[in-house]
């Protein structure tokens, strides 16, 4: 059974950091792409980062480039999203998702999703 489980969200102040984890199971991580998306209230779901495990290829959306980064621990089957210097506009529910085709900012390319983890940046 394919599962993706996000964790690591929370309430932090502007400028602080969070690292989100996407724990995967039920499939071979190296054969898929894992994307991170976020959805703010009243807005569409937006892709922020994606990675292909083998061979490694990383994609980070321009709007968060230089701040967000994506990485993985293949032994643990976990994909991380590191988010330093958080801003109020980063607030939203963060999801990880699996694609067998390619990294894409389009949610339609992803077939399996986690339940999401809430990230709130507020002073």
Distant-in-sequence, close-in-space partners of 116: CB < 8 Å, separation ≥ 6: 6, 39, 93, 94, 95
User: What pLDDT, in 10s, does the model give residues 31-51?
Assistant: 999 999 999 999 999 999 999
Share the mean pLDDT of the chain.
96
- Residue 55 confidence (pLDDT) above 90: no
Q: How many other C-beta atoms are found inside a 10 Å radius of the C-beta of residue 119?
A: 23
- Residue 100 confidence (pLDDT) above 90: yes
- Residue 54 confidence (pLDDT) above 90: no
């Amino acid at each position: 059974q394919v599962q993706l489980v996000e964790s690591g969200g929370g309430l932090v102040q502007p400028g602080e950091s969070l690292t989100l984890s996407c724990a995967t199971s039920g499939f071979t991580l190296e054969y898929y792409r894992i994307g991170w998306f976020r959805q703010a209230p009243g807005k569409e779901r937006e892709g922020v980062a994606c990675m292909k495990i083998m061979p490694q290829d990383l994609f980070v959306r321009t709007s968060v480039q230089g701040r967000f980064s994506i990485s993985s621990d293949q032994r643990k089957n976990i994909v991380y999203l590191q988010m330093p210097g958080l801003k109020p506009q980063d607030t939203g529910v963060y999801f990880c998702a699996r694609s067998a085709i390619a990294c894409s900012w389009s949610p339609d390319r992803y077939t399996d999703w986690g339940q999401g983890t809430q990230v709130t940046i507020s002073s």
